[in-house]
Amino acid sequence: SADTTDLETSIVSAKQYIEANITNAETFQDTVSFAEANLITEITQIYSVEPDTENPQTLAEYILLRRTFGQSITVSEDSAEDYGDILASSQQDDGSFGNIKATIYSLAALKSIGKEAGTYGDNTFDDIAAVNYLVANQSENGEIGNLETSADAAAVLWQYKDSEETNSALNKLISYLESFSDSDDTLELSLALMGLTDANYGQTTEAMQKIIDKLRVKITTEDFHRQRKELPRLTRQKRLSGLSKR
C-alpha cells in the first residue's frame, strides 16, 4: 500500500542517517534522531504482523501503538470485536495480566481505549483489581518489580491516586525513584526521571531537578556517548507503552 511504501522509504532514510552519523553523534539531538529511527523500524515490524493474542503485554503494545497513530484495533473489517476486548478477557484471577510489566501495559492500553470494568467473553475485567495487584507487589522500599517497571507504574498509580491505598503506594514509589538522584548511571537517572515526571504531574521537584542537572552534564561527557546505545531502547519502551499522561 502507499502507507507501507512511505514507511519503507522512511526506514531506508533512517538507516542511511544512522550509518552516516551515529558514529560521530556529538549532540543530544543526534542521539534522539537515532532513537526515532529505531522506533520507525519497530513500528513497521508491528504493523506487518497480527498481534499475539495469547500474550497480553505484546497485545497491549500493539493496541497502544495503533491508537497512537490513529489505526483501527478491530480484529477484522466485518467484526465488531476489537483487540481491547481480547486483552480485557485475559485478566487473571489475581488481578494481573501475567506479571507486573504486562499488567502495567494492559492497564494503560485498556484505559487508552476507554474499556470499562465488566464482562468480556468468558472473563471479567476489573481495573481496580489490576491496580491492587501492582500495589500488593510493591516492596518495602517502594520498588514495583524493578526500576524499569517502577518507572512505568508511576503513571498508572497516579491515575488511581484518589484511593488512599494507591496514593500511599504512589508516595512510596516516588521516594524510591527519588533515591536514584544520587546515582551516576545514565540509564538509572533517565528511568527515575521518567517515573518522577509521571508521578509529579505538572511539577518539577528538587530530586527531579537534581537528576536533570546531572543528565545535562552527562550529555557533554564521554560517559554519555558510551551509554547512548541504551537510549533507543528506553525511548522505544516509553513511546510504545503510552504510559505518559501527556
8-state DSSP, 123: E
Vertex 50 angle, CA 49 and 52, to 5°: 115
The answer to whether the beta carbons of residues 183 and 132 sit under 8 Å apart is: no
Is pLDDT at 144 greater than 90 in this prediction? yes
Give the integer Cα–Cα distance in Å for 46 and 41.
9
Is pLDDT at 220 greater than 70 in this prediction? no
The answer to whether the beta carbons of residues 241 and 64 sit under 8 Å apart is: yes
Task: Tell me the per-residue pLDDT of 101-118, one tens digit each, with 9 for 90 and over.
Answer: 999 999 999 998 999 999
Give the integer Cα–Cα distance in Å for 39 and 175.
31
The answer to whether the beta carbons of residues 89 and 125 sit under 8 Å apart is: yes
Give the integer Cα–Cα distance in Å for 168 and 174.
10
Strand partners, 118: 125
pLDDT at 154: 94
pTM score above 0.75: no
Vertex 208 angle, CA 204 and 210, to 5°: 125
Task: Tell me the per-residue pLDDT of 36-89, one tens digit each, with 9 for 90 and over.
Answer: 555 555 655 555 567 888 999 989 988 888 887 777 888 877 777 789 999 999
For the CA atoms of the chain, what is the radius of gyration?
A: 19
Is pLDDT at 132 greater than 80 in this prediction? yes
pLDDT at 244: 46
Element (H, E) at 196: helix 186-199
User: Could you give the percent of the chain with pLDDT greater than 90?
Assistant: 48
Expressed in angstroms, the distance from the first to the final Cα of the chain is: 32
Helix, strand or coil, per DSSP, at residue 144? strand
The answer to whether the beta carbons of residues 107 and 130 sit under 8 Å apart is: yes
The answer to whether the beta carbons of residues 69 and 43 sit under 8 Å apart is: yes
